[in-house]
Amino acid sequence: MTGRFGEFTIIKPLSPYLGRGSREVRSHHVIYKSGDLAITAWLYLPPENYDGAPKGGHPLDLPAPKGGAIVAGHGGIWGVPSHYDNVLRRLAASGWTVAAPSYRGENGSDGKIEFALGEVDDTIACWKALTSLDKIDPSRTWLLGSSHGAMVNLHLLARDDFPKEIPGAVSVSGVYDLTTWFIWMEETRHFLLEDPFFKRLLESGAEALEQRSVIYKADKIGKPIFLLHGQKDSMVPEEQTWNLANELETAGNFAYKLRIDTGAEHEYIWAPDRPGTDTTWSEILNFIESGGHIDEVEQE
């Protein structure tokens, strides 16, 4: 242990990153508490001398709002993928403070993988730890998640006890109805069905799948959300996002924005230099910086 940042305890400082304009991003492997569990995360801090000056042409390189922060929820059940690092560092180089938790049971975190259950508590605890840092504005501390992380974020916003200062969420490539997802995987003979965890989850029965399906809580999601999906997603079909949007409207919940990206694969936002992803990131950051302004459905 080498120190603390608020409620985060540093396990290991990572290599500095020089953003555009030679601004140094500080990143650390950290732990924080989620109930009785110690959860690992990656914490990215903006340059100490950050002055908000515009940099570059990609949306990721434009200045963050004052006090802006993001909890980045990852896909899968195997910890934060290494290829997220490029985007998270670029966000920090532009002034965002970012925390990316490895949920319970992953990458050295205590506990066992639950898949969109206890991971919600881990995200709430991470948000609280992040907003304990100096100069962080809770009303500008957003949830951003893809795949499993997208599910977790929306379950969080459907709970009665979530911190009401959370302004909203951006959810990419999410699984929102596990019953139909498993049917699709069986029809397509998807390789994920060979994973021991998903085998056990399927065998645990309909109630376990429904419990993890936020589509049944569409009427309870209490903040603006931005739903995104790639049209060529081979892990989670885009129908998952369309069906959630339909349920939101059926429930009278119109506080959502929807974007389907033609030609995009699963979790495509983490490949920011893919053609067209700059436009997607522009939409994401505009949504966040507008406080969750909602306009009409978009397709690219």
Condensed to tens digits (0 to 9), the pLDDT of residues 257-289 reads: 999 999 999 999 999 888 889 999 999 999 999
Distance CA(123)–CA(82), nearest Å, equals 19
Mean pLDDT of 163-186: 97
Nearest of 236, 230, 221 to residue 294 by alpha carbon: 221
How far, in Å, CA of 103 to CA of 34, rounded?
10
The C-alpha angle 216, 191, 242, rounded to 5 degrees, equals 30
HEC string of 136-175?
CCHHHEEEEEECHHHHHHHHHHHCCCCCCCCCCEEEECCC
Residue ranges of domains in the chain, CATH in brackets: 4-177+213-299 (3.40.50.1820)
Q: Which residues contact 110 (CB under 8 A, 6 or more apart)?
A: 36, 37, 38, 39, 104
**Could you give the 3-state DSSP secondary structure of residue 47?**
coil
Q: How far is CA 92 from the centre of its chain?
A: 15
Residue type, 95: G
Q: Is the pLDDT of residue 11 over 70?
A: yes
Tokens for 117, please give them.
Answer: 């259950």
* pTM, 2 dp: 0.92
Helix (H) or strand (E) holding 110: none
Residue range 57-88, pLDDT digits in tens: 678 877 788 889 999 999 999 999 999 998 99
pLDDT value at 166 more than 70:
yes
* pLDDT at residue number 1: 44
pLDDT at 21: 47
- Are the beta carbons of 173 and 230 closer than 8 angstroms? yes
Residue type, 11: I
- Tell me the pLDDT tens digit for each residue of 192-220: 999 999 999 999 999 999 999 999 999 99
CA–CA distance, 73 with 102 (Å, rounded to integer): 8
**Mean pLDDT value across the chain:** 91
Let me know: does 152 contact 134? Beta carbons within 8 Å.
no
CA distance 21 to 54: 10
What's residue 22's pLDDT?
Answer: 43
Lowest mean pLDDT among 92-96, 105-109, 166-170, 172-176: 92-96
Instruction: Take residue 205 and report the two structure tokens written for it.
Output: 């029965």
- Please provide residue 15's backbone torsions phi and psi, each rounded to the nearest 5 degrees: -65, 135
**What is the C-alpha radius of gyration for the chain, rounded to an integer number of angstroms?**
18
